[in-house]
Amino acid sequence: MVEFLHDLFVRPVSISGLGRLGMLLPLALMISVVYKTIRCERLKSVPLASLSLSLLIVGGMLAIGLVLLVTFRLLA
């Protein structure tokens, strides 16, 4: 197990295409869970609030990516 973890740092796994987008989803979810756990007063409201925030993060990142792609296509 330790050798496997060592190999990940020496020879990283290449992720391309939809794999990159797939790695954004858990990252955004974890960030939103931590943020909403700190900000919400009731623990009952954390799951729904964190899900909506994670969708907002992913949607914002996709919108920024789309704007950058269109800008690149127009200027290229």
Residue 49 near residue 40, CB atoms below 8 Å: yes
Separation CA 69–CA 50 (nearest Å) = 28
pLDDT number for residue 11: 84
CB atoms within 10 A of CB 22: 10
What pLDDT digit, counting tens, does each position of 10-48 carry?
887 888 888 888 899 999 999 999 999 999 999 999 999
Q: Whole-prediction pTM value?
A: 0.78
Backbone angles phi, psi at 13, to 5 degrees: -80, 130
**What is the DSSP secondary-structure string of 20-61?**
HHHHHHHHHHHHHHHHHHHH-SSGGGHHHHHHHHHHHHHHHH
